[in-house]
């Protein structure tokens, strides 16, 4: 642990000597100040992968400072309090709760009084400590790794199409979550089958050329933004329309859960809306 100079110490996650993981869940934490220092408080770092949660009873006062993503604390009565980057949540001793990470995970600095592990061991909730076990080495920063992995995934899907090496959209369809949502300025479709139906229906009435310029990719955790330029041609009327586009793609565990399509569709709005409506009708079960 870092040595104090005139009572001042800089603390980073690199100062964690031992990380502890919540069994098979992707939640890790580690102290950088504890009772061994002779101080009155504990300080540590915690990382939650997207969607992970942990039930707990705090037997100490705790401040949670979120530095990345979002963390929700749900009380025993169901009340939820959410903090995002730069915000903090304060908890008082005796509170029963559930910590939950948002869709982009959470990186948290925690500060407790008195030392959390000593207070927990001396309480009737000591068994909760056993849910955490030491791990070897430094755990992955899930939000950061997801960013690189998800950008790579999008490039693998769209690269062959953009370069003209393939016209197969199946890799894109395979990457869709069952409950995926596509939102556009003229409507939305929900569900994997409905979204695939939309792309199939739209291609029968409109020619799409979405790679009029090289695609650009930007990643932040489980969100990837793709920028491009597209030309549309309505087959029946011959009307053409060209517009820049941005897809904001949300992913979870390597699957696309939401696509927010930002684009001026004014020149082909009726045709696109009709294709979406047809996909929704085909998805609806028969009476």
Give per-residue pLDDT as tens, 32-59: 999 987 789 999 999 998 889 999 999 9
Helix (H) or strand (E) holding 143: helix 142-162
Instruction: Write out the E strands in the chain.
Output: 19-21, 27-33, 42-48, 53-57, 61-75, 80-84, 88-91, 96-113, 133-135, 176-184, 187-190, 206-209, 216-220, 223-234, 240-252, 255-263
Confidence of residue 14 (pLDDT cuts 50, 70, 90): confident
pLDDT score of 209 more than 60: yes
Confidence of residue 222 (pLDDT cuts 50, 70, 90): confident
User: For the chain, where do the domains classified as CATH 2.60.120.10 start and end?
Assistant: 13-140
pLDDT score of 284 more than 50: no
CA-based nearest residue to 34, from 17, 20, 51: 17
Residue 140 gets the label, from left (phi > 0), alpha (psi -120 to 50) or beta, of beta
Q: Could you please state the CATH topology (level 3) that the domain comprising 13-140 is classified under.
A: Jelly Rolls (2.60.120)
* pLDDT in the model for residue 36: 86
pLDDT score of 215 more than 80: yes
The pLDDT tens digits for 144-162 are 555 568 899 999 999 999 9
Name the most confidently modeled range: 62-66, 182-186, 188-192: 62-66
* pLDDT in the model for residue 286: 42
User: For the chain, where do the domains classified as CATH 3.10.450.50 start and end?
Assistant: 144-283
**Contact (Cβ atoms closer than 8 angstroms) between residue 30 and residue 139:** no
pLDDT score of 133 more than 60: yes
- Domain range 144-283, its CATH number among 3.40.50.12160, 3.10.450.50, 3.40.50.300, 3.40.50.970: 3.10.450.50
Mean pLDDT in residue range 3-31: 87
* Structural tokens at position 218: 């930007």
Of residues 250 and 58, more confidently modeled: 58
pLDDT score of 103 more than 50: yes
pLDDT score of 2 more than 70: no
Per-chain mean pLDDT for the chain: 90
**Contact (Cβ atoms closer than 8 angstroms) between residue 61 and residue 91:** yes
* pLDDT in the model for residue 148: 60
Confidence of residue 287 (pLDDT cuts 50, 70, 90): very low
**Contact (Cβ atoms closer than 8 angstroms) between residue 162 and residue 215:** yes
Cα separation of 287 and 281, whole Å? Answer: 12
Question: For 253, what's the count of Cα atoms within 13 Å in the CB-facing half-sphere?
Answer: 5
* pLDDT in the model for residue 37: 77
pLDDT score of 62 more than 90: yes
């Amino acid at each position: 642990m870092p040595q104090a100079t005139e009572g001042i110490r800089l603390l980073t996650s690199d100062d964690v000597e031992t990380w502890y993981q919540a069994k098979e869940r992707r939640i890790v934490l580690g102290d950088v100040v504890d009772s061994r220092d002779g101080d009155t408080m504990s300080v540590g770092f915690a990382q939650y992968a997207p969607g992970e949660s942990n039930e707990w009873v705090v037997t100490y006062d705790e401040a949670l400072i979120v530095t990345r993503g979002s963390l929700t604390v749900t009380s025993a009565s169901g009340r939820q309090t959410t903090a995002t980057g730069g915000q903090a949540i304060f908890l008082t001793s005796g509170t029963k709760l559930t910590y939950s990470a948002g869709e982009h995970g959470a990186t948290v600095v925690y500060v407790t009084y008195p030392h959390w592990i000593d207070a927990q061991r001396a309480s009737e909730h000591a068994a909760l400590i056993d849910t955490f076990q030491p791990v070897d080495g430094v755990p992955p920063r899930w939000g950061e790794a997801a960013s690189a992995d998800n950008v790579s995934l999008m490039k693998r899907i769209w690269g062959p199409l953009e370069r003209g090496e393939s016209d197969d959209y199946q890799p894109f369809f395979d990457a869709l979550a069952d409950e995926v949502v596509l939102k556009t300025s003229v409507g939305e479709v929900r569900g994997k089958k409905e979204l695939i139906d939309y792309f199939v229906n739209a291609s029968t009435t409109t020619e799409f050329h979405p790679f009029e310029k090289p695609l650009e990719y930007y990643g932040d955790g489980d969100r990837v933004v793709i920028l491009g330029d597209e030309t549309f041609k309505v087959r029946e009327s011959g009307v053409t329309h060209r517009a820049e586009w941005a897809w904001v793609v949300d992913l979870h565990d390597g699957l696309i859960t939401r696509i927010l399509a930002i684009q001026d569709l004014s020149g082909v709005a009726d045709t696109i809306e009709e294709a979406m409506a047809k996909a929704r009708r085909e998805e609806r079960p028969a009476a």
